[in-house]
Chain A
Amino acid sequence: MPNFNIDADPKHTYDAIVIGSGISGGWAAKELCEKGLKTLVLERGPVVEHPKDYTTANLDPWDMELRGGLTPEQQKKHYKGIRSGFIGQDTEHFYANDEENPYTEVKPFLWIRGHQMGGRSLLWGKQTYRWSEMDFEANAKDGHGVDWPIRYKDLEPWYTYVEKFAGISGEALGLPQLPDSHFLPPMELNCVEKHIKERIERDFPGRHMIIGRVAHLTQPLNGRGQCQYRNRCSRGCPYGAYFSSNAVTLPAANATGNLTFRPYSIVQSIMYDEGTGKASGVRIIDAETNEDIEFKAKIVFCNASTLSTTQILLNSTSNRFPDGMGNDSGELGHNLMDHTYRVGALGKVDGYDDKYYSGRRPNGIYIPRYWNIDEKSKTDKFLRGFGYQGGGYRMGNSEAANRKEFGGDYKDSIMKPGPWEFFITGFAECLPYHDNKVYLNKEVTDKWGQPTLSIDCEYKENELAQNKQIQEDAVEMLEKAGVNDVLGFDNEHEPGYGVHEMGTARMGRDPKTSVLNGTNQVHAVKNVFVTDGACMTSNSCVNPSLTYMALTARAADHAVKELKKMNL
């Protein structure tokens, strides 16, 4: 891949500025550049060039100092993020520094951030699902939040468009609650998963267990290699086999010659021109020199990630917008949502001790939502629903350490794989609540003296009722499927653990109750677009990234058409 042009010129006015280079920012950059716009992408952190900057991608445990363990200094640097359980020596450089970038948990909330080119597109779980018609209708039907200004049919062609380029593997099922994507061949279930799938689908009509739909190539696509089943994705994939901005969208944007990528650029605010009623550009702080610099553009795409985008908008004050850009409704910062996390069941599976697998599959199983999808599946215990992720595997070191044995025979026995274990863990939809919110905290500033966010968010009755059902159903399904020693769990993780934070600058039909219109434009500042998770009006129960991609491509298409009509 050619080097990126990182020489941004403040004297030059760009056609477009994209704030952030993660999943949605990468798509904005690609679409705008391919449509001929000179586009400046502002990234808070360093360049991570595919594949040369994946410095840990090929390290085996014994190649790493301390076999991958985090030192006390590294633990301190990630003193919040570390509780996710995801951060190791091999990936810690892709997780934001919590000490330099503090946030305040008014109520417990875990905010996982990736401050580098590609953002969290390097770190995401790659589970990739379309939202359904029932997701877009949900608010209107039960009256929570405001109505989405779009429906499934508005997004359907854009889903197909982004899927063809991103590469999504999976199996088509024709389920109304989980529309099929344009699929590459699915990955394979293992023996235990196949067994449990058969039992669940036999004993629980209407429930399905499928291989996860994932943004991994199962065959080559556009010069990218297919998955090699190393399961070292979060270090960056040298084959470009999973979807990341670094391997997929940013190289495409760069190939047009229209991209300027500026690293170490912390967007402080979006500038508002009182005369034109439009945004004129953005003001940044150079993270390395602390210099304040302004860049001008005709349109601005906000893709800094859900809460960072809202933080920038809240910090973009003017005479016209004293409470943050586009905040006429007072909804900016409100209606924060995340999926509930870590409620489910697990247990051991007998009868397959002579079976094993080869390859490390970066994927598991998925059980699509089955409550409240039709008249028959309606419950009065809660609104909306949940899905499960999970999988089967043979257990490793902690099971071996738990055996009450030691010595030669013990050592020889743990050279063999441990017993089979199978788990499922639920992801429930969170309703949009006005009082789940973020706001600027001027008392706590970051390394660059900027105000930070206070996060005040909690799960309420409807989410807790779903968690109860998630655990009950999980235990019941596993027991009926013949799993032994079934342990149901509800670890009551606070929001943020799902890393599916959504809302705080929602789309809507009415400027009085929403921040963005049906094409992701700030109602009162039409040349500012928000197409990351901040725009979400509801939460669904499925993973959101594919929907951000589709919304971004759709909004970029609209933006360029409007620019051509001189409407922006």
Chain B
Amino acid sequence: MRALLLVLALVLMASPVQAERVVSSVSNTTVLISSSFDGETLTMFGNIEPELGTGQPAKGPYHVVIVVEGPLSDRVTRLKTNNFGIWMNTVQVQFNAMPTYFHVLSDAKLKEITTPVVIAEEKLRPEYQAQAAIETGWWDSVVFANQTVRLLTEKGAFAVREDGVQFLSNTFYSAQLTLPANVPNGAFVARTYVFKDGQIIARKSDGFSVRKSGFERFVGQSANQYPLLYGLVCVALALFTGWLGGVVFKR
């Protein structure tokens, strides 16, 4: 009962400020990976509406930033240095629970949409995600976080696309995102932020998952859950293939 009152109080407190809300969706709630999977394009769309009961029509101009974040994973970034003529990894910095996939889509330049403080607070750039996942000192976090973001951007796992969101009317927007063939498997979240005059006036999260289907799912699960049996099946397959090759070609 008390919790309900608290929620009610919060809603009442919040309602005068947040006069708008965003209704959003993702075209696929699950991206299934089958044997011929070669990436998939998702569409994220939504409409900015006045909060129920306020009655006034939604007025722009609005800006929309969509952050698509993949499953979290621990990561390590290493630096090679030359020691006595041999290049080897000498420094390594660990990142804990960092997104494996992080794309930022917006309809205008982030710095035009809002202030650097808000960008940093909401971690709207990959660099802030990387810095937050790091444990070691300030210098490492700046150098290694930036380098990690650069490497992941080159791989296509991280990106900032400041023309990724299109407004079809004053309030209706859509955005397209192409997941690459090597997209990490797991739970994804698309967070939509609506900005007006540099402030976040509405936000919403939509989840979708990327997972293997059919045979690929079966193989992935077998490898994780029955590793011994899986290994034995691999060996049996190899022995059979080798034997068959010998029989077919009669050496």
| Interaction A to B | no
